Amino acid sequence: MNTENRLDARFVEQARQGRTALIPYVTGSYPDLAVTRTLVRRFDELGATAVEIGFPFSDSIADGPVIQDSFHRVLAKGYHVDDLFDAVAGLRAAVAVPLIAMVSHSIIQRIGLERFVKRAAEVGFDGLIAPDVPFEEASPIADAAGAAGLKHIMLVALSTPPQRCREIAALCSGFVYQIAVAGITGERNGLADELADNLRRLREVTDLPICVGFGIGSPEQVGRVAAVADGVIVGSAIVRRITEGLEAGRTHDEIVDSVCAFVGELVAAT
């Protein structure tokens, strides 16, 4: 079981340094587990605050076409959840960066809540996000995650009413995930005008760090969000670069170098 609270410690450290957190996302096992392991190690070296690792799932409802396509490619090769858990277990001793599991509620239900969180904590995950869990069913997940030593992170939409924001924040630990745009994941040309006001209202109901994701895909956007948030999460822009590299026939090493050059720019923008 993870009792180190790596995620909390990293936020405290970065606040002391006056830095905004940068949390990159990768689809686990895309294009294979070796690349996932290498990317996480390189992100750690680049100074990422944490890394989200997505568990591929056939019926994702929160993700846009870029991440859904990566899921389908992984599943077509015979991916299994245990393979990803084993890869994280082998990686944990090599990196200091906190690791967050981004996983569908359906996967948790299929494996069993207690079994899933226990295994996730044992292999070295530090946090858990189940983006599609209904709020009314979130309390058991929050309790089980906390008992296993995992931070439980929930999403707040731009349209979430103030009282529901308060209730969601009360079930969170580690940080609160503010969605930057309406709709699913994916890069956008611009971000919602009301984002800063939403962050201000959310700060009135929680002392946790607030990290912003969905729709953020460039160093310029990271810089703008970093000015008003405690952390910035980037996913689709990273996964897209992997897909483009595969379709261009680049080697895995070349893909990793390209992705890491981009993530280095994102870290610098915070």
Query: Which comes out higher in pLDDT, residue 228 or 59?
Result: 228
Separation CA 106–CA 129 (nearest Å) = 13
Separation CA 208–CA 260 (nearest Å) = 29
Q: Is 122 a catalytic residue?
A: no
- Tell me the mean pLDDT in the region 3-16: 87
Please give the pLDDT value at position 189.
Answer: 53
- Tell me the mean pLDDT in the region 180-198: 65
Please give the pLDDT value at position 41.
Answer: 98
Separation CA 59–CA 81 (nearest Å) = 15
Spatial CB neighbours of 266, under 8 Å, sequence gap ≥ 6: 22, 24, 219, 222, 232, 234
Peptide linkage before 134 cis (omega within 30 of 0): no
Q: Is 52 a catalytic residue?
A: yes
- Tell me the mean pLDDT in the region 145-171: 96
User: Would the pTM of this model clear 0.85, i.e. be above it?
Assistant: yes
Query: How many angstroms separate the first and last alpha carbons of the chain?
Result: 32
Q: Which of 44, 52, 187, 230 is catalytic?
A: 52
User: Does pLDDT of 190 surpass 60?
Assistant: no
Query: Which comes out higher in pLDDT, residue 245 or 195?
Result: 245
Q: Which of 8, 44, 63, 230 is catalytic?
A: 63
- Residue 1: pLDDT band (50, 70, 90) is very low
Q: What is the pLDDT of residues 65-77, one digit of tens each?
A: 899 999 999 999 9
3-class DSSP state of 268: helix
Query: Which comes out higher in pLDDT, residue 196 or 100?
Result: 100
Sketch out the chain's domains with CATH numbers.
Answer: 6-269 (3.20.20.70)
Q: What is the pLDDT of residues 248-267, one digit of tens each?
A: 999 999 999 999 999 999 99
- Residue 185: pLDDT band (50, 70, 90) is low
Six token digits for residue 198: 């939403």
Q: What is the pLDDT of residues 233-247, one digit of tens each?
A: 999 999 999 999 999
Q: Residue 85 corresponds to which amino acid? A: F
Average pLDDT, the chain: 93
User: Does pLDDT of 186 surpass 60?
Assistant: no
Spatial CB neighbours of 83, under 8 Å, sequence gap ≥ 6: 29, 33
- Residue 62: pLDDT band (50, 70, 90) is low
Tell me the β-bridge partners of 179: 213
- Tell me the mean pLDDT in the region 24-50: 98
Please give the pLDDT value at position 2.
Answer: 47
